[in-house]
C-alpha cells in the first residue's frame, strides 16, 4: 500500500513520494514535477524567482555555505576564483581529458594526478566536480521541497546523450551527495522527446532530430522511438559552442566598432556590463529588429537583427554541419524525420530556427519553452518510474518478456518486456485433457511468439492435480519479479490447493549484447511470428474441437442417427486432413464445417439431458 502524507499548508492528503525531474545543465538547471491534479509537467518556480537556476556556485570568503544560482552568477567577474560555473564540463573527467580547455576557466583546476579525476581549488579547499554539482542539486532539491511543501528524496536526472559511463556515474554520485536517490539517468534528447509527447504510446514509431543549443554547448541527436524504446541513432555537436559564443560575437563587434579595448582593459565591472548588454541585445533581437542602449556616459551601442545574423552566421553554420553529419551517420535523409525538436535557450534566435528548419526541410517544433523542455521530460520520466503511466517503457525494467509455454508451443507473455521491477503478474490456466494430473510449466524469456525461439529459463511440473475433466482445474500461475531481477514462479491449482514454486534469475548468463540480439530478432522476425502464431492458434482450436467432438460422439451415440455419426466422422476426418496443410484459413474453414454439422445434435442432446434431469434422472 502506498503511504500518504498530509500537506500541512493545504490540509490535503498527498502522495508521500514525489519524484522530481532535473535538468542539470552546463549553464542553467531546472527542476520539474508532475502536477498531481492536472497531471501535466510543471517547472518549479519557488518564491517567484523563476524556473531557471544558473548552474553557478559561489563560495563566499570565510567558508560559509555556498550560494547557488542567479546570486552566485553576479560574482563571475568580480570574484572569479571563488565562482564555479560550467562544472558539468568537468564531471567524470580527468585532467588529461580536459587538455587545453582547463585554462579557459576562471577558477583553478588541479592536476595532482593526470589520470585521476579533476579537482577544483577554491581558497584552501579542493572540490570534486561531483561535490560542486551536488551543491546545484541541493539547491534544486531545496526549492522543490519548499515549493511543494513535501520532502523530495528521489529524482530522475538528465545528461547529454554523448555522456560516457564515468560521466553518468558521476552525475548519479552527485545526486546521492545531494540526498537524492537517482532512479534514472536519462538522455536529454529522450527527455525532450517525451516532453513533446513522443514515445508515450507503445505502438508509436517515430524518428526525430533533437537540436539542442544551450549556453556553452551544442548537440544534435537523431532518435528512433519504437515500442517505447528510445534508440540514439547518432549524435554530433560541439561542446564549446553555444549562446556564450553569440554574446562574444556581439562584444567583439562593439569593441572593434567603438575601439573599446583600452577602455575595457583592467576594468572588470565595465567588462561585466558589456557582457550583460550583449546578452540583452541578443535576447532582444530574438523578438525585435533594432537594439540600442547606453554604455558609459556618451556611447550608445546599437545592433540590428540583420547585423546580428551576419555576426553569428558562421557559428550557426557550424551547428548545421553537425546536423548534416548526424543525419549521415544515422543513414537518413531529412524526409525520414517525423519531427525536429528544438531545445535550449539559444534556439530562440530566429536565424537558428530558420537555418534548422531549412536544413531539415520542415518547420522545427519550438512550441515548448526551450529552457524547460528537458526538465519537463525528466518529470514525465519520473512519473513513469513512479508507476503512473504503465504503458510506457522504463529502466530498472525487465529487458525481455517473461512468459510460459501454452498449447502448441506458443509463448504466453506474463510479464512484458520493459515492465518496471519489482512487479507481479499472473494468469489462470486449465488442463486440455480429461483426467490430467500433472501440468508442465515451462518458463521462457524473449520476444518471439514461439517458445522455441526464446530462451528457456526453467521447467517444472505441478503434480497431484486431482483428476478432473479437461477445462475444470483452475491453475493460477504467478510471476513475481523482485527488484534484483529474481523471478519466482508459483503455480497453484485452486480447487485442490496443490502448489509448486521455483526461483529463477532471468538475467543470469545473458550479456547485454545477447539481450540486444534477442530484441533485434524479435523485431526482424515480427511478421513471420505473427503468421506462425495464427496457424498455431487455428491448430489449437481445431485440436480442441476434435477432442470435444469425439468425446461427444462417444458419450452420446445412443442419441445420434447412423447418418449423423457417419457425417460427423467424415467432417472430423476433413478437419484432421486440414491440419496437415498448416494453413490458417483452411483449418478454420474445416473447424466451421464441423461446428455447423454438430451444433444441431449438441442442442438436441442438451435438451434430452435437461428433460432427463427434470425427470430426476442422473445424466450420463
Ligand atoms: P544549458 O542547457 O547549456 O544549461 P540553456 O538551454 O539554459 O543552457 O541555454 C542558455 C542560453 O540560452 C544562454 O546563452 C542564453 O543567453 C540563451 N538564451 C536564453 N533566452 C534567449 C533568447 N530569448 N534569445 C537568445 N538566446 C537566449
Ligand atoms: Mg541544456
CATH of the domain at 349: 3.30.420.40
Does 389 map to a domain? no
In this structure, what C-alpha cell is assigned to residue 468?
A: 478432473
Residue 373 Cα to ligand 2 middle (Å):
9
Does 27 map to a domain? yes
Same domain, 340 and 217: yes
Does 334 map to a domain? yes
pLDDT tens digit sequence for 540-562: 888 888 888 888 888 888 888 88
Same domain, 74 and 174: yes
In this structure, what C-alpha cell is assigned to residue 271?
A: 567588462
Residue 31 Cα to ligand 2 middle (Å):
12
The helix or strand, by DSSP H or E, that contains position 208, with its residue range, turns out to be strand 205-213
Q: Which of 73, 88, 138, 154 is catalytic?
A: 88
Q: Which of 46, 212, 238, 371 is catalytic?
A: 212
Same domain, 98 and 25: yes
Active site residue 88: yes
Same domain, 114 and 74: yes
In this structure, what C-alpha cell is assigned to residue 578?
A: 486440414
Same domain, 181 and 250: no
Q: What is the pLDDT of residue 255?
A: 97
Q: What is the pLDDT of residue 480?
A: 87
Count the domains in the chain: 4
- Return the CATH number at 518: 2.60.34.10
Q: Decide: 109 and 118 in contact? Cβ < 8 Å.
A: yes
Nearest ligand (C-alpha, residue 377): 2
Active site residue 212: yes
Same domain, 131 and 260: no
390 confidence band (pLDDT: 50, 70, 90)? low
Q: What is the mean pLDDT of residues 175-179?
A: 91
Same domain, 252 and 300: yes
Of the candidates 523, 555, 588, which is a domain's last residue? 523
Tell me, using a 6 A CB cutoff, whether residue 275 lines ligand 1. Answer: no
Tell me, using a 6 A CB cutoff, whether residue 348 lines ligand 1. Answer: yes
Same domain, 498 and 610: no
pLDDT tens digit sequence for 115-167: 667 889 888 888 989 999 999 999 999 999 999 999 999 999 999 887 765 78
Active site residue 23: yes
Same domain, 185 and 322: no
Give the range of the structural domain holding residue 463, as residue numbers without chain letter.
402-523
In this structure, what C-alpha cell is assigned to residue 562?
A: 447412423
Residue among 1, 7, 35 nearest 21 (CA): 35
The minimum-distance atom of ligand 1 relative to the CA of 242 is 14
Same domain, 473 and 428: yes
* Cis omega (within 30 of 0) for bond into 534: no
Which of 345, 371, 373 has most ligand 1 atoms within 8 Å of CB, for mutation? 345
Instruction: Return the minimum-mean-pLDDT range out of 21-25, 412-416, 524-528, 576-580.
Output: 524-528
Residue 171 Cα to ligand 1 middle (Å):
22
- By the CB criterion, residues less than 5 angstroms from ion ligand 2 are 25, 214
Pairing outcome for strands 154-159 and 181-187: parallel
Q: What is the pLDDT of residue 176?
A: 87
Tell me, using a 6 A CB cutoff, whether residue 215 lines ligand 1. Answer: yes
Tell me, using a 6 A CB cutoff, whether residue 217 lines ligand 1. Answer: yes
Does 388 map to a domain? no
Amino acid at each position: 500500500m502506498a503511504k500518504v502524507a498530509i500537506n500541512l499548508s493545504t490540509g490535503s492528503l498527498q502522495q508521500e513520494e514525489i519524484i522530481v525531474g532535473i535538468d542539470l545543465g552546463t549553464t542553467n538547471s531546472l527542476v520539474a514535477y508532475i502536477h498531481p491534479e492536472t497531471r501535466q509537467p510543471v517547472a518549479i518556480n519557488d518564491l517567484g524567482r523563476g524556473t531557471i537556476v544558473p548552474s553557478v556556485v559561489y563560495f563566499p570568503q570565510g567558508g560559509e555555505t555556498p550560494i547557488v544560482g542567479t546570486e552566485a552568477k553576479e560574482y563571475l567577474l568580480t570574484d572569479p576564483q571563488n565562482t564555479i560555473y560550467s562544472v558539468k564540463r568537468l564531471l567524470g573527467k580527468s585532467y588529461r581529458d580536459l587538455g587545453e580547455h582547463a585554462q579557459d576557466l576562471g577558477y583553478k583546476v588541479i592536476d595532482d594526478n593526470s589520470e585521476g579525476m579533476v579537482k577544483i581549488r577554491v581558497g584552501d579547499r579542493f572540490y570534486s566536480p561531483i561535490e560542486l554539482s551536488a551543491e546545484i542539486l541541493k539547491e534544486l532539491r531545496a526549492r522543490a521541497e519548499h515549493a511543494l511543501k513535501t520532502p523530495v528524496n528521489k529524482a530522475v536526472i538528465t545528461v547529454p546523450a554523448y555522456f560516457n559511463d564515468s560521466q553518468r556515474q558521476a552525475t548519479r554520485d552527485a545526486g546521492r551527495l545531494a540526498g537524492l536517490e537517482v532512479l534514472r539517468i536519462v538522455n536529454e534528447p529522450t527527455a525532450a522527446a517525451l516532453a513533446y509527447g513522443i514515445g508515450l504510446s507503445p505502438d508509436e514509431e517515430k524518428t526525430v532530430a533533437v537540436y539542442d543549443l544551450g549556453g556553452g554547448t551544442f548537440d544534435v541527436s537523431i532518435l528512433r522511438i519504437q515500442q517505447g524504446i528510445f534508440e540514439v541513432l547518432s549524435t554530433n555537436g560541439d561542446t564549446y559552442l553555444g549562446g556564450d559564443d553569440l554574446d562574444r560575437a556581439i562584444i567583439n563587434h562593439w569593441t572593434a566598432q567603438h575601439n573599446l579595448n583600452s577602455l575595457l582593459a583592467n576594468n572588470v565591472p565595465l567588462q561585466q556590463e558589456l557582457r550583460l548588454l550583449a546578452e540583452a541585445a541578443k535576447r532582444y533581437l530574438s523578438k525585435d529588429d533594432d537594439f540600442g542602449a547606453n554604455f558609459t556616459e556618451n556611447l550608445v551601442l546599437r545592433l540590428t537583427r540583420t547585423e546580428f545574423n551576419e555576426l553569428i552566421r558562421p557559428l550557426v553554420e557550424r551547428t548545421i554541419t553537425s546536423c548534416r553529419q548526424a543525419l549521415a551517420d544515422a543513414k537518413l535523409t531529412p524526409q525520414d524525420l517525423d519531427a525536429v525538436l528544438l531545445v535550449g535557450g539559444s534556439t530562440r534566435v530566429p536565424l537558428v530556427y530558420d537555418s534548422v528548419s531549412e536544413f531539415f526541410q520542415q518547420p522545427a517544433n519550438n512550441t515548448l519553452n526551450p529552457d524547460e523542455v528537458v526538465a519537463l521530460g525528466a518529470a514525465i520520466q519520473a512519473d513513469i518510474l513512479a508507476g503512473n503511466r504503465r504503458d510506457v517503457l522504463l529502466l530498472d525494467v525487465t529487458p525481455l518478456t517473461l512468459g510460459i509455454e501454452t498449447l502448441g508451443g506458443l509463448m504466453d507473455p506474463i510479464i512484458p518486456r520493459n515492465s518496471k521491477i519489482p512487479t507481479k503478474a499472473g494468469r489462470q490456466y486449465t488442463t486440455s485433457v480429461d483426467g490430467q494430473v500433472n501440468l508442465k510449466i515451462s518458463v521462457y524469456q524473449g520476444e518471439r511468439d514461439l517458445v522455441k525461439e526464446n530462451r528457456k529459463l526453467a521447467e517444472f511440473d505441478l503434480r497431484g492435480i486431482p483428476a478432473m475433466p479437461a477445462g475444470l482445474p483452475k491453475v493460477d500461475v504467478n510471476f513475481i519479479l523482485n527488484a534484483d531481477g529474481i523471478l519466482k514462479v508459483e503455480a497453484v491449482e485452486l480447487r485442490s490447493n496443490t502448489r509448486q514454486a521455483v526461483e529463477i534469475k532471468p538475467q543470469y548468463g545473458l550479456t547485454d549484447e545477447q539481450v540486444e540480439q534477442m530484441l533485434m530478432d524479435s523485431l526482424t522476425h515480427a511478421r513471420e511470428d505473427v503468421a506462425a502464431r495464427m496457424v498455431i492458434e487455428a491448430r489449437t482450436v481445431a485440436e480442441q474441437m476434435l477432442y470435444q467432438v469425439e468425446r461427444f460422439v462417444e458419450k452420446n451415440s445412443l442419441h445420434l442417427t447412423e447418418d449423423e455419426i457417419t457425417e460427423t466422422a467424415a467432417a472430423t476426418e476433413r478437419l484432421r486432413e486440414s491440419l496437415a496443410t498448416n494453413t490458417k484459413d483452411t483449418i478454420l474453414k474445416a473447424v466451421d464445417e464441423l461446428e455447423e454439422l454438430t451444433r444441431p445434435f449438441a442442442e438436441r442432446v442438451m435438451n434430452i439431458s435437461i428433460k432427463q434431469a427434470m425427470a430426476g434422472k442422473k445424466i450420463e
